[in-house]
Amino acid sequence: DQQVKQNSPSLSVQEGRISILNCDYTNSMFDYFLWYKKYPAEGPTFLISISSIKDKNEDGRFTVFLNKSAKHLSLHIVPSQPGDSAVYFCAASDSGTYKYIFGTGTRLKVLA
Amino acid sequence: GAGVSQSPSNKVTEKGKDVELRCDPISGHTALYWYRQRLGQGLEFLIYFQGNSAPDKSGLPSDRFSAERTGESVSTLTIQRTQQEDSAVYLCASSVRGGTNEKLFFGSGTQLSVL
């Protein structure tokens, strides 16, 4: 049972436009969410996180939105840059545990 | 070192052989995780170590898989009698305490290919 789902395996966006990456989860106990970026032959690197007490968190060009009722989160990148081309993973955990459940990833390609 | 270090970066082995993968976490990080990423799939939790507590082995796929950690430092993931379905990137991560609301720092992974 896939508790964290990223239904779009890939996404292409023109440079300068907005990239929107989506993530859905099924476990209502999840209350902490993270986004990671992964380049080929490198480990995932932390991008941004959000706690369930918020519905939005912003860091520079990156904003994460959380819709608890829909069990949905999204990552917005504005403006998109060619260097943003990577695989993006969302991950979730619930308070009191240490186990992070990851989605299958979305490959973003930003076209110059 | 400054980051999580894994070795080897690549390992090719024959079916039936044993392999050992190593992880050096960030100094001072008490929590250590192993994840696996098969081709086209997400990160799959394998095992978690926190300080001197008993590890959470709930993600290990079979008894051919085992892992050890020496204190709060190096960890070794061992796969015995490797099978072709073990081919994957094995990722190690560490965090400060392994508690909630903590981010994980990942190594570059070991690409394991079982022929």
CA distance B16 to chain A (A): 26
Does the distance separating the beta carbons of B91 and A104 come in below 8 Å?
no
- Residue A33, pLDDT score: 94
The string of pLDDT tens digits covering residues A33-47 is 999 999 988 899 999
Does the distance separating the beta carbons of B4 and A43 come in below 8 Å?
yes
Of A6, A34, A96, the CB nearest to B103: A34
- Residue A89 with chain B: CB contacts under 8 Å: 42-43
**Burial of B39 by CB count in 10 Å (0-12 exposed, 13-18 middle, 19+ buried)?**
exposed
The string of pLDDT tens digits covering residues A92-107 is 988 777 788 999 999 9
Does the distance separating the beta carbons of B56 and A99 come in below 8 Å?
yes
Share above pLDDT 90 across residues of chain A, in percent, rounded to a whole number: 86
Bridge partners for B68 per DSSP:
B76
For residue A56, the number of C-alpha atoms closer than 13 Å in the C-beta half-sphere is 5
B44: helix, strand or coil: strand
A38-67: b (≥16 Cβ within 10 Å) or e: beeeebbeebbbbebeeeebeeeebbbbbe
CA distance A67 to chain B (A): 18
If contacts are CB pairs under 8 Å, which of residues 42-61 in chain B contact chain A? 42-45, 48, 50, 56
Instruction: Spell out, as residue ranges, where chain B has pLDDT lower than 70.
Output: 1, 98-100
- Nearest-Å Rg of the Cα atoms of chain B is 13
Name which of A20-29, A73-82, B48-57 the model is least confident about: B48-57
CB B13 within 8 A of CB B112: yes
Q: Which whole number is the average pLDDT over A48-68?
A: 95
Tokens of A71: 């069990």
B7 in contact with chain A, both atoms CB, cutoff 8 A? no
CB A66 within 8 A of CB A54: yes
CB atoms within 10 A of CB A84: 18
- Residue A32 with chain B: CB contacts under 8 Å: 100-101
C-alpha separations of B12 from B20, B27, B34, B58, B87 in Å:
12, 29, 19, 26, 9
- Residue B99, pLDDT score: 65
Does the distance separating the beta carbons of A44 and B103 come in below 8 Å?
no
> How does residue A1 score in pLDDT terms, banded at 50, 70 and 90?
low
Q: Find, in chain A, the residue whose alpha carbon is nearest to that of B58.
A: A99
Q: Which whole number is the average pLDDT over A57-69?
A: 97
CB atoms within 10 A of CB A9: 11
- Residue B100, pLDDT score: 64
Q: Find, in chain A, the residue whose alpha carbon is nearest to that of B50.
A: A98
